[in-house]
């Protein structure tokens, strides 16, 4: 959770933009449903969690409750996403929990490397002062983790 805290503190000092939060959450949920493989789904599932944790922090900072619609949307998504993923993990909850924790670290490390510069959509830019930042591809690192754990086959 400290990684999400530091990211949002650096990114926008916990400034709450309810419409942007909803847009970001819906974008990450859509990525789960558009995913082409398990690595894409794991990354999207973790990104939804990352975004929603940031949303909760911003709401806390602003002294308001999380929008009930977003709260319900997140709960329902997590129920569906976790059910899909547990099936992909061979119904082994212990393996899923371990791998998801390792992949969470990957997502947090990649996000920590992003700059605090925002584009017009509130997304973090991956370049600074005209130079592209070398930020690892979280999905690819997750894919490598899943392959090394024999949960995916290399293509």
Sequence ranges of the domains in the chain: 2-148
Tell me the average pLDDT of the chain: 90
Q: What is the pLDDT of residue 123?
A: 66
Average pLDDT rounded to a whole number, residues 101-109:
96
- Residue 4 CA to residue 8 CA, distance in Å, equals 6
Q: CA 17 to CA 95: how far, in whole Å? A: 37
pTM: 0.89
């Amino acid at each position: 959770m400290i990684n999400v805290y530091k990211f949002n503190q650096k990114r926008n000092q916990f400034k709450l933009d309810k419409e942007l939060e909803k847009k970001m959450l819906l974008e990450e949920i859509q990525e789960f449903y558009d995913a082409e493989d398990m690595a894409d789904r794991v990354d999207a599932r973790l990104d939804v969690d990352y975004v929603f944790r940031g949303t909760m922090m911003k709401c806390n900072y602003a002294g308001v409750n999380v929008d009930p619609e977003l709260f319900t949307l997140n709960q329902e998504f997590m129920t569906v996403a976790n059910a899909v993923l547990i099936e992909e993990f061979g119904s082994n909850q212990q393996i899923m929990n371990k791998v998801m924790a390792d992949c969470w670290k990957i997502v947090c490390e990649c996000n920590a490397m992003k700059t605090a510069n925002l584009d017009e959509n509130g997304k973090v830019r991956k370049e600074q002062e005209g130079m592209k930042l070398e930020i690892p591809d979280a999905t690819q690192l997750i894919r490598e983790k899943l392959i090394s754990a024999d949960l995916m086959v290399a293509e």
